[in-house]
């Protein structure tokens, strides 16, 4: 079985992530979307919430599995028998850091990284910008899946 992993913080998942996940899922038998558990960094959404939002967003993609991981990505890959990491690249700004991580992951464990250019319509999206805009009452309805929009609005009302 050909498997790959798309790792990330996904706090929260955006339409940019969904674009990459959808296109990569079409290339593999199974695609694991893995949410990083980072105890040192509290997000807007808990890891369980992020996974739930991801599951809703990819509900129509039968070969996509949502999971979480802590520690090194290469250890997750090794223990789940996944040889390939796939990352979306928005612009050159992403490239330098992503290249460094890709080279390190290959050195550490022989895990390969493939890069997918995001669709131009979503190339400007990031979870951080979405959170910032939503916090100050801006309209993010075209930037995130419906479930995420509902949860962002609920969080705003609660605060
Ligand atoms: O969505 P993000 O925050 O850009 O995702 C970054 C992520 C989770 C892919 C990256 O931080 C990662 O792989 N973290 C796990 C820890 C690890 O393996 N670090 C060494 C990288 S060479």
Q: How many domains does the chain have?
A: 1
Q: How far is the CA of 36 from the centre of ligand 1 (A)?
A: 7
Q: How far is 71 from 95, CA to CA, in rounded Å?
A: 23
Section 88-111 average pLDDT: 95
pLDDT, position 115: 97
Across the beta sheet with 84-89, what order do the strands follow? 64-69, 30-36, 3-8, 84-89, 112-117
Cα dist. 64→13, 44, 93, 153 in Å? 14, 24, 28, 27
pLDDT at 77 over 90: yes
Q: Give CA angle at 1 (57, 80), nearest 5°.
A: 70
Q: Which of 2, 3, 23, 41 is catalytic?
A: 41
Q: How far is the CA of 157 from the centre of ligand 1 (A)?
A: 31
Q: How far is the CA of 1 from the centre of ligand 1 (A)?
A: 25
Q: What is the CATH number of the domain that holds 47?
A: 3.40.50.620
Annotated binding residue at 9? yes
Section 117-128 average pLDDT: 95
pLDDT, position 157: 84
Cβ < 6 Å from ligand 1: which residues? 7-9, 36, 72-73, 101, 104-105
pLDDT at 68 over 90: yes
**pLDDT tens digits for 5-41?**
999 999 999 999 999 999 999 999 999 999 999 988 8
Is 127 annotated as catalytic? yes
Q: Whose CA is nearest to atom 20 of ligand 1?
A: 72
For residue 93, name the pLDDT band (cuts at 50, 70, 90).
Answer: confident
Cα dist. 78→46, 47, 65, 87, 151 in Å? 25, 22, 17, 18, 34
Cα dist. 71→46, 48, 114 in Å? 17, 17, 21
Q: How far is 153 from 146, CA to CA, in rounded Å?
A: 11
Ligand 1 atom closest to residue 104's alpha carbon, by position in its atom list = 22
Residue written as token pair 């290249």: 99
pLDDT, position 55: 98
Section 85-96 average pLDDT: 93
Task: Look up the domain containing 28 and give its range.
Answer: 3-158
Section 58-66 average pLDDT: 98
């Amino acid at each position: 079985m050909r498997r790959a992993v798309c790792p990330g913080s996904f706090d929260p998942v955006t339409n940019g992530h969904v674009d990459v996940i959808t296109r990569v899922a079409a290339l593999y038998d199974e695609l694991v979307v893995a949410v990083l558990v980072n105890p040192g960094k509290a997000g807007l959404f808990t890891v369980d919430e992020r996974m739930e939002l991801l599951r809703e967003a990819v509900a129509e993609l039968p070969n996509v599995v949502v999971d979480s991981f802590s520690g090194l990505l290469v250890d997750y890959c090794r223990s789940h028998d996944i040889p390939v990491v796939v990352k979306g690249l928005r612009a050159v700004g992403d490239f330098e850091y992503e290249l460094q991580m890709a080279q390190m992951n290959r050195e550490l464990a022989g895990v390969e990284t493939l890069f997918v250019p995001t669709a131009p319509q979503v190339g400007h999206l990031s979870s951080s910008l979405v959170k910032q805009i939503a916090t100050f009452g801006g309209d993010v309805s075209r930037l995130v899946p419906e479930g995420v929009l509902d949860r962002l609005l609920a969080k705003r009302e609660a605060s």
